[in-house]
Amino acid sequence: MTFENPKFPNSKIDPFLLTSPQTPIYNCIAWAFGSVDKWFWPDVAGTYFWPSDIPRTETLDSFIKLFEIIGYKVCDNGDLEKDYQKIAIYADGNGKPTHAARQLRNGFWTSKLGQSFDVTHTIHSMSDGLYGNVAAFMKRQENQTA
C-alpha cells in the first residue's frame, strides 16, 4: 500500500510503500544495521543498545563508527552500484543524526519510521522532511558480514 506522510512533504510526489506492521521493538538505525530485535541509539542514559567502544554521543561521527563495525565506509553518493550495499544517514539542520535508511537491490530505499512502519521509498521522498536530509552515504561489498 502506498501512502503520503505529511511529515515528509516529498511523499506527495514519491509516495512511501508500506512494508511491515508497526512495532516498537527496533528503530531505523537497527533496521539499517540489519537488526530487528533491539532499538539502537547512543542515549547518554544507556537505555538503548549502543556498542560500548563507540562514543554514546548523537554525532555523525558516532553513527559512522557504528556502521563501520559491519564493514561500511563513507562514500560520495547513494547511486545504485553493482555488488554494493549502501546506507544513508540523515541529520537535522544542526548536523544531529536523526535517521538511517538502507538501499535495496532495486535502487529504492527501506526505512523504519520510529515506532511505526517499515517503508520503501526514494531518497527524494524522505528529504526535507521530519528527519532532515542525508548527511552521509556509506557502502560495503554485498554479502559482507561483520
The answer to whether residue 122 sits within a structural domain is yes
Domain span at residue 14? 2-82+96-130
Residue 89 lies in a domain: no
Predicted confidence at residue 5, as pLDDT, reads: 80
Q: Is 104 within a domain?
A: yes
pLDDT digit string (tens) for the chain, length 146 residues: 777 788 888 888 888 888 888 899 999 999 999 999 999 999 999 999 999 999 999 999 999 999 999 999 999 999 999 999 999 999 999 999 999 999 999 999 999 998 888 999 999 999 999 999 999 999 999 876 55
Q: How many structural domains comprise the chain?
A: 1
| Cell, residue 74 | 563513507
Q: Are strands 84-91 and 133-141 parallel, antiparallel or unpaired?
A: antiparallel
How much is the pLDDT for 4? Answer: 78
In a domain, 32, yes or no: yes
Count Cβ atoms within 10 A of the Cβ of residue 44 and give its class: 0-12 exposed, 13-18 middle, 19 or more buried. exposed
- What are the residues whose beta carbons fall under 8 Å from the beta carbon of 77, sequence distance 6 or more? 137
Q: How far apart are CA 47 and CA 132, in angstroms?
A: 24
Assigned domain for 138 exists: no
**Tell me, what's the pLDDT at 75?**
98
Whether 140 is in a domain gets the answer no
**pTM (2 d.p.):** 0.93
- Amino acid occupying residue 32: A
Sign of CA dihedral 73, 57, 129, 20: positive
Residue 64 forms part of a structural domain = yes
Residue 48 lies in a domain: yes
Burial of 72 by CB count in 10 Å (0-12 exposed, 13-18 middle, 19+ buried)? Answer: buried
